[in-house]
Each structure stands twice: as C-alpha cells, then as structure tokens.
Structure 1
Amino acid sequence: MKINDLPEPPRCALIVGHPGHELRILGWVKRMQPIVVALTDGSGHIGQSRLEISRKFLGEAGATPSRLYGMSSDREIYSKILEQDHLFFLGLAESVANLLIDQSTEFVAGDAIEGYNPSHDLCRLIIDRAVRLASNERGQIIKNYAFPLVGDPSLGGYFENNMTIKLSSDELTFKLSESQRYIEKTGGVLASEVAISVTNYGKAAFGTEVFHVEDSSAALANFEQEQPYYELYGEQQVKAGFYKQAIKYREHIAPLARRLLQ
C-alpha cells in the first residue's frame, strides 16, 4: 500500500527521539503536515539544543511542533535510563497519549527500533504504549508506523504491511536542500550521519520513504544475541570522559521495555 493512495490526508503525528529525525521523511512531513513530538532536545553531551533550528525547518515544511516538543534533555533521558526510573517513562507515554487524544490523531509515524541509539528505541516503545492507550480511550485504532533512521532509506520491502511514498523530483530537491541547510546550521553528529548516508546510498535513495508496522518485542529480541551499536558507542563515550556509565540493553533497556510493553 502507498501513502499516496490514502483517500484523505489523516490527522497525523510525527514522534521522534531527537529533533532532526524529520529530515529522513521530509517528503511525508511536507505532504501530511503533522503535529510533532520530540522526546529530547537533541543537545547530546555538548548541551546544545537543536529545537529552535528544527522548529524553523518544520514550520517551513508545514508541520507544527506540539506542546511536547523537546520534553527532556538528552542528559536527563540518559540519567533516567540509568536510574531505571520507570515511572518517568510511563508518564511520558501517558502525556503523548493525551496529546493524541486531544488532536484526534489517526496516523502516527516515529522512530524504529534499530539498536543505534537508546533514545530512538525508547521513543518507539513510548509511541507504542501511547498509541495503545489513546486507541483504547477513543475506541478507535490509531495507525502506528515506524521508519528507519540508519541504513538504506529506500529499503523496507522485507517488512509486512509496509507503506511507501515516492517523492517527485521537486520534493526530493526540497528534501536534500533542506537537509544540507540543516546540517550546515547544526553540525555535530547529525551532520556526519547525514553525510555518510548520502555517500553510502546516493541521493536518489532518499526519494523513497518507507514506513512499516513494527513488532517491538521481536525487534528487541535481536539484542538478546547481538550487541546493539549504542553499547559500543557508549563505551567509547565513557573512555572519552563524556559519560560516567554506558547504557546496556540487558541491564537498562530490557527492563524498561518490559514495563512499557505491558
């Protein structure tokens, strides 16, 4: 099924772990003009928020940052994960659910579980819980789709029930130019990630945007056997002196996941 084929644009919400993730599906954002939730401010260990820059870019694409745009700093999220503050994350999910109810949301798009960053994976778990709560309260199923942030952006056919949009040449030009403008203003890790993706997959790959229904339990089960990337990266950050402790899947994410998935 293609998003292009939907009879009417649904009331949409974009829910991401960090501001800037909207660049990955900017064609969809421009078409659907969603309300936007960001779990963090994208400040990382350097403490420099990306909220205002993203707010400007989202506005130019027709999207609307919500009252839950930039709910926490990255440092706060990491601290809450290490402290195993389950109530904090349950509270975030409830706040998102209330927003979805207030906005009469029909379609949600958000981060996929990829083991790349713990905030991304937790964002997906918060989305799933919030959608369940809001759907139950309203008595109406809210469509809930994930999109990848790493890897080839044009792939996704191996997922069942995936949906894609093919960007026009004008839409792709807009997406690539906005992405370039964004990384020039922000720099940092996001800039290098975007540059690597374009180098690895080519500009044309970003003309396809893929969304899929994700089984979060199954996605997380992969990390019972395979170490997620964020563990390796976290250990490097500890050695560099940016963090005191690295986040581990079994010790920190798995217990939170079980609570959020209940």
Structure 2
Amino acid sequence: MFRLQPKASAALILGHPGHELRVYGWIRFIRPLTFVITDGSGASGISRLDTTTQLLNHLGSPIGTVYGRFTDEAIYETMLARSLEPLCEVVESIASALIDAEIEIVASDASEGYNPTHDICFELTQAAVELVRKRTQRAIRRYSFCLTEWEGCVPSQIDGEAIHLKLDDTCLNEKVEAARSYVELRDEVDRAIECKGIEYFRNEALIPSTGWTTAPEDYKAGYELRGEQRVVEGKYAQVLRYNDHLLPIFRGLRHYVDQN
C-alpha cells in the first residue's frame, strides 16, 4: 500500500463541482490545489461552484487557476464541435500552475464512460501532467478516483500502488454531513447512501493511472446509450459519441502535447 505523507504537494482536478465529496478525507488530509473544469450548472443553468468553494475553504484546500471555466452546456457544445483550442488553453493553465506549485501528485476524475465531462477531465489532466514532464523533466505521480463504481464503471483494478484511506468516525461523519449539506446534489447523495450504506464511504482509493485513455474499436460509452434515449424523448437534439466526438479531441490533445 502506498502511504501518502502530509507534506506532499498535491493537486486535484475535477470535472464537476461536488466530486470533491468522493475524496473528502484525502482533501482534509492533504489539502490539494483544486481545479474544477465546469460550474456544474447542468440543465438548470444554476452553478454549484459556491457550495464547492465553501467546502474547499472549510477544508483548507486552495483553488487553482481553472475553476468553473465552462458551463455544463458550454463543455457539451465544445465536445460536440470537437473544439480543441479552449481545451488546450485549460491544459496550459493547469500545467503552468502545477509547475509553479511544484506539484508532486495529481488526482482526477476517472475515465469511466459514464459522463463525457468526467472522461474529458481525465484526459485534460493527463495532457497537463505530460506537458509538465516535457517542460521540466519531472514526473508527477498520477491518480484517479471512481465516481460511479457501484454502477459497475470501475476503470481498473485497485492494486497495491493505490492510495488507500480508511476514515475514522469523526472524518466519516464530517464527510456524510458535508455530502448531505450539498443541496444541489442531495438527491444523488441520498441515492448513493441508500445504494451502498454510510459505511461504504469510509474507504477512499486513488488508483494509479498508467497514461492516456484507451478503448477498443467497438467501444460504446454508457453516456451514448443514455443520450440515445434522451434524443428519443426529445430532450437532446444529438447524441455525444466517443468515437465521433471524444476520441478526436483526445487525439488532438495528445498531438498538442507532442508539439509543445
């Protein structure tokens, strides 16, 4: 088991505000520099960044240079358009901040095929870490954490190199209270607790990431299936697809890193 020392300089990169709840204990312990790609506004158009800011401030976790850069609608449109420039700007901003803060460890959302923004977050993080390595010849230890493992979306086996935390009763109670107080996510929190029980959230794991996202040629992400249903229901005009939209962006980011 890898044991993380409090003095380690760490960063956390999230696709949506609220994801910090999944690694509440790790944040409380390490106080990472935290970046959030979107504002979590969803279909309502109402940002939930303020709630996350309050929680991060409470935990003493500083906020990074990218924080709610996109609305959820904007990141969705960016992916549909396969627009690379704004995403490369995010990569540059994060990479510069990682260099300036001499970050040693980075954790991000896992790429699970559940939500395209989570997967984009994973790839943007990988691109930023690769830029740091190219420009400083310094490797950053790279981890991700699952957001939907109870739905079977585990990206890789948790092994001995993972960072494991088992929260004590005080920290677990704080985590559950913080989750239940996150008004914008109350329904999701209630479903998660009902599904797994409070004790499940005592354990946190950050899984070593081996590099860029990979998928077989016939891969179909879970968000495609849900998108197809929403098109039928008249809620979406177009389905966001891995091969048509996400993969070209991923390839573009890798090319950008190679050239810079």
TM-score, normalised to structure 1, is 0.89
Distance 2:187 2:232 in 1: 21
Distance 1:71 1:203 in 2: 33
Corresponding residue of 2:144? 146
Corresponding residue of 2:176? 176
Q: How does 1:190-209 map to 2 (within 5 A)?
A: 190-209=185-204
Contact 2:65 2:93 in 1 (8 A): no
Corresponding residue of 1:166? 166
Distance 1:239 1:157 in 2: 32
* Paired letter, 2:165: I
Are 1:118 and 2:116 counterparts? yes
Contact 2:224 2:241 in 1 (8 A): yes
Distance 2:43 2:214 in 1: 25
Contact 1:156 1:210 in 2 (8 A): no
Residues 79-117 of structure 1: per-residue CA shift (max 9 Å, x gap): 111111122222211111111112211111110000010
**Deviation of the 1:226 alpha carbon:** 4.3
Are 1:89 and 2:81 counterparts? no
Determine which of 197, 201, 224 is the counterpart of 1:231: 224
Contact 2:109 2:147 in 1 (8 A): yes
Corresponding residue of 1:54? 52
Corresponding residue of 1:63? 61
Q: Cα 1:156–1:201, aligned 2, differ >3 Å: closer, same or farther? A: farther
The unaligned stretches of length 5 or more in structure 2 are 256-260
Corresponding residue of 2:17? 19
* Paired letter, 1:214: S
Q: Cα 1:250–1:204, aligned 2, differ >3 Å: closer, same or farther? A: same
* Paired letter, 1:100: L
Distance 2:45 2:126 in 1: 28
| Helix, strand or coil at the partner of 2:78 | helix
The unaligned stretches of length 5 or more in structure 1 are none
Instruction: Name the stretch that deviates more: 87-96 or 248-257.
Output: 87-96
Corresponding residue of 1:44? 42
Contact 1:163 1:212 in 2 (8 A): yes
* Paired letter, 1:248: R
Determine which of 201, 212, 215 is the counterpart of 1:221: 215
Identical columns (%): 35
Distance 1:100 1:42 in 2: 23
Distance 2:245 2:25 in 1: 35
Residues 226-247 of structure 1: per-residue CA shift (max 9 Å, x gap): 4211112223333444432120
Q: Cα 1:169–1:82, aligned 2, differ >3 Å: closer, same or farther? A: same
Corresponding residue of 1:128? 126
Corresponding residue of 2:253? 260
Residues 44-70 of structure 1: per-residue CA shift (max 9 Å, x gap): 122110111110111111112223111
